[in-house]
Structure 1
Amino acid sequence: MSTSTPPCSPGTTGLDALVDLLWDAVHAGDEYAATELVTQALDEGVDPESVLLDVVAAVQGRVGEEWAANRISVAQEHAATAINERAVAALATHPVARTTPSRGRITVACVDGEWHALPARLLAEVLKLRGWRIDYLGAQVPTPHLISHLHATGADAVALSSSIATRLPTAHAAITACQAVGVPVLVGGAAFGPDGRYARLLGADAWAPDARAAADRLARGPLPRPHFDHQQVDDLPHLADQEYTMVARSRPTLVRTVFTALEDAFPAMRGYDEAQRERTAEDLAHIVEFLATALYLGDEDLFRSFLTWTAGILVARGVPAQSLPPALALLARELKDFPRAARILERGTEALTTTDHITAAGNPA
């Protein structure tokens, strides 16, 4: 028996109140209250799909917002996500959520390197509720293993999830590999852009902005079987210049070189403690990763958006965002022979200097 405080009756409070109640349980680290809330809502007739998408997903969105605003730590964010995953598991085993498959077979997976599995899990459970037979493979599935699974199961389609844009080159390889064995691919997740622009660029057969839209798309009819008759580079001819490959391969060296030189370019770094220095190295690694991804996609906007987002995150944590332009200048010096990279870095620096982040970081309240 749980010793947690019983939640308020969800049947009389509506979905918004359910979100608040689940958030309270998740924020408190109380998995028993969270799972009891979900099962009680189902007992009282709340639609299982609504619990998944209008309650659990909404709470998970709040978790991300609280982390970005520096109101919860990384550890708290991980714990909250784990509790939400347990809440989804409780829903999946509830009698009202059990369905007999009446449609085809869908494989749901995250691309290799993608650890944010909850969006894919939510989709898998929604599709089960709608009568699909689902193979849920979870986080970071290596493409060769995904293809082996498709050969073994004869799936009608693959639903691939990715939340972080730096996984898009890997996602492209997975999309291409699935299509090469005749299986169409539906993609979703924040990595593919709010309008699905990267899904189209990378040749996915379909894109959906969220789990409900993905389920609706699959319900309208089968995805067309792909006709695979081209190579990846045909989709992205700019890759012929090899800039992406060179930057991606040299990432560790670039990070070390820029980190070493940054202390002279940004003297405030000399006063950093060990933890701050480690975070700076991590930030530099992310910058190079996003630069490489922007090169892969041929999209300067991706890098600019990442930099302004990073500046906002730094400001929320009381870290001087003024360190970003010197780091970009040092990186540009190392990549002076790479014209596309140099242009992307220049546009990124311009974006930083036209936002309020730098000024705000220099004038803390």
Structure 2
Amino acid sequence: MSPAARLSPAGVRVHAERLWDAVTTGNEYTASGIVLTALDEGLPAESVLLDVIGVVQRKIGEEWAANRLSVAQEHVATAINDRAVATLVHTVRPPEPRRGRVTVACVAGEWHALPARLLAEVLRLRGFRVDYLGAQVPSPHLITHLHRTGPDAVALSSSIPTRLPTAHATITACQAAGVPVIAGGAAFGPGGRYAKLLGADAWGPDARAAADRLEDSLPRPQAGHQPIDDLPHLADQEYTMIVRTAPQLVEAVYAGLEERVPAMRDYTEQQRQYTAEDLAHIVEFLATSLYIGDDELFTDFLGWTAQILTARGVPARSLRPALELLGGELRDFPRAARLLELAGDHLGGVLGPVPDTGKTA
């Protein structure tokens, strides 16, 4: 096989397919060998990171969502993929830093660190000096690090939309420390629309694009910016009150569902726990949607949740009575009540009438 053929898109896909087989069968040593083989065959290290390891990681998430990988299988595959990154890092010596210094970190509460690590390694390969802080970085610790090291930019990663309020506070704190922020990850919405809304200085839809953007210096932030200036609707306090009362809301909705769906009374302890967790996610996404002021964040989440429940054999129609009960609890919150009614209508159009009995979300 010629070098040109080995570097073709089809050749890259072969490496990704082999890595997929390795991570899903729990074969760490084979996974590391695939990375080394790809490098030996002339595939650039950045391409191995993004077009092989990164592609496989996205597929891991998709297969979990489709219920074709269990949570345990997803964790094993992700851990092996992370070690595949380590194999590359220990094999390929990056150039001496010739560009600026970048801090790469995940928002507090964000445990999906592999996308941030991929970016950190790409930046090193491109000649940046990188401080990779990993998952779940509390904002005060991040700011202390910025004051100590004085980087040229912060790359802030988040995959989960419910971390957006924390991301907003973190972006503002970094800018107050004089450091611009480039945001990345699925949490920031299609096209990074929430990154712009929350005041980030730049948006990177993927690691390549983020690295390209960081090769051009980000402008230093202006002093005097306040978070409330970004989201004036927060003055109504609905977000704050719902976050404060979230446990009570979940408890009330659960009790109401038991009245509507008598089969719930015979649930096992594990089923009860899962149901309460699902209701907590609904409340959390509702609060985040109110924070952002974007209805689609909540309705898209419910559509995704319906797909997940269906893939796991749980009737998704039972989401509607949960929304109705939550709407009753929040009837004195105009924005929340309107959004819940909108979401219920959306689900009704997609899923049809609510059943009288059966499993719940």
Shorter-chain TM-score category?
over 0.9
CA RMSD in angstroms, aligned pairs only: 1.9
Select the residue among 206, 210, 217 that pairs with 2:206. Answer: 210
Does structure 1 residue 264 correspond to structure 2 residue 259?
yes
Question: Which one of 83, 87, 92 corresponds to residue 86 of structure 1?
Answer: 83
1:358, distance to aligned residue in structure 2 (A): 7.2
Map of 2:106 onto structure 1: 110
2:245 match: 250
Deviation larger for 253-262 or 101-110: 253-262
Letter of the structure 1 residue corresponding to residue 306 of structure 2: A
The Cα shift of 1:12 comes to 11
1:224 match: 219
**Gapped regions of structure 1 (runs ≥ 5):** 1-8
Q: Secondary structure at the match of 1:14?
A: helix
Contact kept in structure 1, 2:102 and 2:129, CA below 8 Å: yes
Q: Tell me, yes or no, if structure 1 residue 310 matches structure 2 residue 305.
A: yes
In 2, distance between residues paired with 1:93 and 1:354?
53
Match of 1:322 among 314, 317, 324: 317
Partners of 2:60 and 2:218 lie apart in 1 by 33
2:152 maps to what in 1?
A: 156
Tell me which residue corresponds to 1:4: none
Q: How do residues 178-189 of structure 1 correspond to structure 2 at under 5 angstroms?
A: 178-189=174-185
The code of the aligned residue for 2:282 comes to I
Moved more, 204-213 or 348-357: 348-357
Name the aligned partner's letter for residue 209 of structure 2: A
Specify the alignment match of 1:38 in structure 2: 35
- Percentage of matched positions with identical amino acids: 67
* Whole-angstrom CA distance in 1 between matches of 2:187 and 2:352: 24
1:3 aligns to what? Answer: none
**Aligned counterpart, 1:101:** 97
2:94 and 2:127 in contact (8 A); partners too? no
1:158 and 1:185 in contact (8 A); partners too: yes
1:103 match: secondary structure: coil
Deviating more after overlay: 254-263 vs 159-168: 254-263
SS in 1 for 2:336: helix
What do residues 201-255 of structure 1 show as CA deviations (whole Å, max 9, x unaligned)? 0000000100000011111x20000002132111100000000000011111111
CA shift, 1:304, in A, is 0.3
Which one of the candidate residues 13, 16, 21 is aligned to 2:13? Answer: 16
C-alpha distance in structure 1 between counterparts of 2:269 and 2:116, whole Å: 36
Does the CA-based 8 Å contact 2:159-2:185 persist in structure 1? yes
TM-score (norm 1): 0.93
* Alignment-mate amino acid for residue 325 of structure 1: R
State the partner residue of 2:274.
279
**AA of the residue aligned to 1:260:** A
Distance 1:245 1:314, change over 3 A: same
Q: 2:285 aligns to what? A: 290
Partner of 2:23: 26
Aligned residue runs from structure 1 range 119-130, under 5 A: 119-130=115-126
How far 1:343 moved relative to its partner? Answer: 0.7
Kindly indicate whether the alpha-carbon contact (under 8 Å) linking 2:317 and 2:351 is maintained by their aligned counterparts in 1.
no
Map of 1:166 onto structure 2: 162
Q: TM-score, normalized by length of structure 2? A: 0.94
1:67 is aligned, of 49, 64, 68, to 64
Runs of 5+ in structure 2 lacking a partner? 1-5
Displacement over 4 Å in runs of 4+: 9-13, 356-360
Return 323-332 or 285-294, whichever deviates more.
Answer: 323-332
Give the Cα–Cα distance (whole angstroms) in 2 for the partners of residues 283 and 13 of structure 1. Answer: 41
Instruction: Give the partner amino acid of 1:90.
Output: T
